Amino acid sequence: MAESSHYPSYDVWAEHREWDEHTRKIVAKRRSPDVAHRFLTPKEAVTLQTAASLLVDDIRLDVLTYITQHVDETLASPVGEDQRKVGVPEKQTLYRQGLRGLDETSEAEHRALFAALPKEQQLDVLTRIETGQVKPSGAWAQVPAKEFFKKMLHDVVSAYYSHPLIWSEIGYGGPAYPRGYIRVEKGLVDPWEAKQDGK
């Protein structure tokens, strides 16, 4: 597995003038996210952003701010959640209780709020929630820990891999309308795509 980008000098955003207007607007907004939230309290936002940083293994503030904003928008939106398992509460309750549970487990195991713990202990708390090894009291009496973890992981990862900085890092060519991809066969790349030797 790679430890760093295969394409350190690639910047997908440099191509944005070639993109259609609608796509350009959508991606541009992710580069300068809001810090005001509609659903999350400031404390919840900090807890979420701290967890997100560990889930995607990244500490860059602009990317993490966008992730938190995306989750907040999802929670404030009246749009449905596609599906919800019987026995799992609505997304707003799941997040509100789940974020509370993060702090409760942190305090029970390590005697501090989640955001204040050292990284090792934060990872320990997340692993407990991921595997459901939490005390079934407080928040975890209201919402299933594993379901919360899975939902948060899905939402956070979806936002992270929607950010153009991350597209550049993994060498994703991204939006290609109206010009399309011309050289699609094995071993061929279009002139503007990411190249390993950086040329």
Q: Which residues bind other proteins (CB under 8 A)?
A: 1-6, 19-20, 22-23, 26-27, 54-58, 70, 78-86, 90, 123, 126, 130, 149-150, 153-154, 157-162, 166-167, 169-182, 184-189, 193-194, 196
What distance lies between CA 196 and its chain's CA centroid?
26
Report in angstroms how near the CB of residue 174 gets to other proteins at its nearest: 7
Query: Nearest CA to 52 among 178, 140, 154?
Result: 154
Nearer to other proteins, 29 or 111 (CB): 29
Nearer to other proteins, 113 or 170 (CB): 170
Q: Strands, E, within 1-52: which ranges?
A: none
Please name the helix (run of DSSP H) or strand (run of DSSP E) that holds residue 198, with its range, or none: none
CA distance 140 to 166: 33
Report in angstroms how near the CB of residue 146 gets to other proteins at its nearest: 9
Report in angstroms how near the CB of residue 80 gets to other proteins at its nearest: 4
Nearer to other proteins, 22 or 137 (CB): 22
**Residue 189 to residues 4, 10, 123, 172, 183: CA-CA distances in angstroms?**
21, 14, 39, 12, 5
CA distance 8 to 188: 20
Report in angstroms how near the CB of residue 106 gets to other proteins at its nearest: 17
Report in angstroms how near the CB of residue 25 gets to other proteins at its nearest: 9
